[in-house]
Amino acid sequence: MPKGFIGKVRLGARLMQYDDPKFWRAGAISTTVVMAIALGMLTVDSLEAITPGGSHVPPYSVINRHIGYVYNGRLGRDMPVIGADEPLFGKPVTETEAAAFMERGKLVIQSRSCINCHTFMGNGAYYAPDLTKAWLDPAWDTWMAITGADTKEEAMVRFLMAPEQYATWLRKMPNLGISRDEAVATVAYLKWLSSIDTNGFPIHFGRPQTSR
């Protein structure tokens, strides 16, 4: 056998020293670097899509409009649909005023720790209903009657300010000392939230599948 051939085998063996931890270390470092770079690139793209006004998240002033939720046959899932003017409490707001509502609303959501009973986009605790599409919940029609309110937003505000008075189920929401201003900001927040395209989550919202 020619010497060179043996040399090549030896060379091959030298490159593939599986029992040397350094071989696996090189693998660990390169895999991690490649994946981290991929995540970085995807992050840049995703953040653009979820900035208000981006492809998946409407601007905050969407609270001036009607928000619907319609099944899209082509995509096979429900999608938010922005409709005609329908300002909260009949009062249109500017983009800046809407942003102020969001800032306040998010502070209320965090300071009352909503996510430790409820979920948003499925994240949180699981003791109380998911709030992603709460604005679109058909139950508010009944709650308008219960709270004696003329509009959905007013019913939501009254409920948030005194939830213990309107308990209709075994599990009650405690009174969290939410002021009227705070409740209004929270309702604005929930309305904006319902306009986000969440790829069809939660499934079949408002369309029970029991009778077809």
Cβ nearer to other proteins, comparing 97 with 201? 201
Residue 59 φ then ψ, to 5°: -65, 160
Chosen residue from 79, 107, 146, 149 binding other proteins by CB under 8 A:
107
Does 144 participate in binding other proteins (rule CB under 8 A)? no
At closest approach, how far in Å is the CB of 2 from other proteins?
34
**Nearest distance from residue 73's CB to other proteins, in Å?**
16
Question: Are the C-beta atoms of residues 178 and 186 closer than 8 Å to each other?
Answer: yes
Q: In terms of C-beta distances under 8 Å and separation of at least 24 residues, what long-range contacts does 78-87 make, across chains too?
A: 78/200, 78/204, 78/205, 78/207, 79/197, 79/200, 80/194, 80/195, 80/196, 80/197, 82/58, 82/195, 87/63
Q: Which stretch binds other proteins (CB under 8 A): 8-16, 24-32, 82-90, 145-153?
A: 24-32
Residue among 184, 185, 187, 188 that touches other proteins (CB under 8 A): 185
* Range 147-176, binding other proteins (CB under 8 A): 169-172, 174, 176
